[in-house]
Amino acid sequence: MTDPFALFEEWFAKARASEINDPEAMALATADAEGRPSVRMVLLKRHGPDGFVFYTNQGSRKGEELAANPRAALLFHWKPLRQQIRIEGEVDRVSDEQADAYFSTRSRDSQLGAWASDQSRELESRERFEARYDEMKQRFAAGEVPRPIYWGGYRVIPNRFEFWSDRPHRLHERRLFTREGDSWREGLLYP
Positions marked active-site: 170
- Identity at 20, one-letter amino acid code: I
What values do phi and psi take at 46, rounded to 5?
-160, 150
CA–CA dist 75, 54 (Å, integer): 13
Contact 98, 35 (CB under 8 A): no
CA–CA dist 91, 70 (Å, integer): 5
Q: How many CA atoms lie within 13 A of 65 on its CB side?
A: 21
As a dihedral over the C-alpha atoms of residue 139, residue 141, residue 143, residue 148, rounded to 10 degrees, the angle is: 40
Q: How many CA atoms lie within 13 A of 85 on its CB side?
A: 23
* Three-class secondary structure of residue 154 per DSSP: strand
β-strands 37-43, 83-93 pairing: unpaired
- Identity at 128, one-letter amino acid code: R
